[in-house]
């Protein structure tokens, strides 16, 4: 089986993990946690980061620090992994779902329309006319290595006094290479940025995440909350409700080694994407979705867009599986999920189109040109 996305562990991973083991620093205390935070701060050009157990934990803490409380609302895209949405419910708040654009990120035109037409400004903040709830934040998801329109999102967030949270769990290493935001990385432009190092990401710690924030005090607050809100380690005094969200030293050791290779991984994934594109360009019924021209993408996932034929995405997934090629359809839209069907969604149209027609194909750093040749040959047979 050619896997969809698996880690590449050919650097200093073993050396650093064994070093952590030999020094018996295996839990959330240890030098590699601090080193991983510092190395990522340097890479992203930010003041501070806090290493956490998952991208989900990072989003949860970002929402809490953004002031999201019970019966508030948060604006989110419907086309995203469910982990973007669930932390809103952890806090007793509710999501409001938006459509996507052609790069699969949140549709800023519809977002602006929603804020103008469906909401009203009050002395306590912006209120949703339909639900009578206050809206506190927007979560923008950078999907598969593409980046949401941060210029417009930042302007809208400022205009309506909303906190802007970047779900950069799929886009570490992506940055703008043109315009006003040139050289700014995903996860560094909003009020908060959340990263993931799950096993299928471009770099991994097995499981793990990272949180950044514009305000360094928010990062320090997140660090406090992520370690059970300890005010006195010796006497076990806690003055707030905290979480067991800190990354372990073993995970961070893996992360340090992976981060050392991130730029080389991005080059390989760019080369593989270009090779895929050349192999598939003559096919009539499938094409690779493009990456943005004004963004240096990390090329995390390669999305195959299926034309409107009698062959469904399920057919392609099953046929490719028969040829030992692992693929995945794009996520079921979040507003269609059982627990969110009663939540408000605003003119969802394009997200349905892409949900019905996208599958993701193998994209590991370890993928070879020979394997891409084989995948292309199989696609030519079944289309």
**Backbone phi, psi, residue 195, to 5°:** -120, 155
Residue of 187, 164, 236 lying closest to 41 (CA atoms)? 187
Query: How distant, in Å, are the alpha carbons of 42, 141, 254, 346 from that of 259?
Result: 11, 22, 9, 38
Q: Which of 250, 280, 203, 291 is nearest to 6 (CA)?
A: 203
Q: Identify whether the C-beta of residue 165 lies closer than 8 Å to the C-beta of residue 190.
A: yes
Distance CA 240, CA 261 (A): 38
Instruction: Please check whether residue 272 is in contact with residue 372, taking contact to mean a CB–CB distance below 8 angstroms.
Output: yes
Q: Measure the CA–CA gap between 184 and 197, rounded to whole angstroms.
A: 20
Is 163 a catalytic site residue?
A: no
State the catalytic residue, choosing from 201, 269, 279, 313.
201
Give first-to-last CA distance, the chain, whole Å.
20
Calculate the CA 284 to chain-centre distance.
31
Q: Which residues are catalytic?
A: 201
């Amino acid at each position: 089986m050619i896997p969809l996305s698996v880690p590449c562990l050919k650097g200093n991973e073993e050396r650093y993990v064994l070093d952590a083991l030999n020094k018996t620093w295996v839990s959330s205390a240890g030098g590699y946690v601090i080193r991983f935070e510092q190395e990522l701060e340097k890479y992203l050009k930010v003041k501070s980061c806090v290493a956490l157990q998952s991208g989900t934990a990072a989003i949860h803490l970002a929402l809490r620090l953004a002031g999201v409380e019970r019966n508030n609302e948060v604006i989110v895209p419907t086309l995203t992994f469910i982990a973007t949405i669930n932390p809103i419910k952890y806090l007793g708040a509710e999501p409001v779902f938006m459509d996507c654009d052609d790069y699969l990120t949140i549709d800023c035109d519809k977002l602006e329309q929603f804020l103008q037409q469906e909401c009203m400004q009050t002395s306590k903040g912006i209120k949703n006319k339909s639900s009578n709830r206050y809206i506190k934040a927007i979560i923008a998801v950078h999907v598969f290595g593409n980046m949401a329109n941060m210029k417009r999102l930042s302007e809208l967030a400022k205009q309506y006094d909303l906190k802007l949270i970047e779900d950069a769990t799929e886009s570490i290493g992506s940055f703008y290479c043109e315009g006003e935001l040139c050289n700014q990385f995903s996860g560094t432009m909003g009020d908060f940025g959340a990263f993931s190092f799950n096993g299928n990401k471009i770099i991994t710690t097995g499981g793990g995440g990272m949180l950044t924030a514009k305000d360094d005090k928010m990062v320090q607050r997140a660090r406090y909350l992520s370690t059970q809100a300890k005010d006195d380690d010796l006497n076990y005094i806690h003055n707030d409700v905290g979480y067991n969200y800190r990354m372990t030293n073993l995970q961070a050791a893996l992360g340090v080694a992976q981060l050392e290779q991130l730029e080389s991984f991005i080059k390989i994934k760019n080369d593989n994407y270009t090779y895929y594109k050349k192999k598939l360009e003559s096919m009539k019924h499938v094409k690779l979705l493009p990456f943005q021209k004004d963004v240096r993408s990390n090329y995390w996932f390669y999305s195959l867009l299926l034309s409107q034929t009698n062959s469904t995405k399920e057919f392609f997934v099953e046929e490719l599986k028969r040829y030992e090629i692992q693929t995945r359809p794009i996520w079921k839209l979040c507003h269609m999920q059982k627990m969110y069907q009663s939540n408000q969604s605003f003119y969802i149209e394009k997200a349905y189109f892409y949900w019905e027609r996208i599958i993701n194909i193998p994209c590991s750093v370890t993928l070879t040109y020979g394997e891409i040749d084989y995948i292309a040959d199989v696609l030519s047979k079944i289309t």
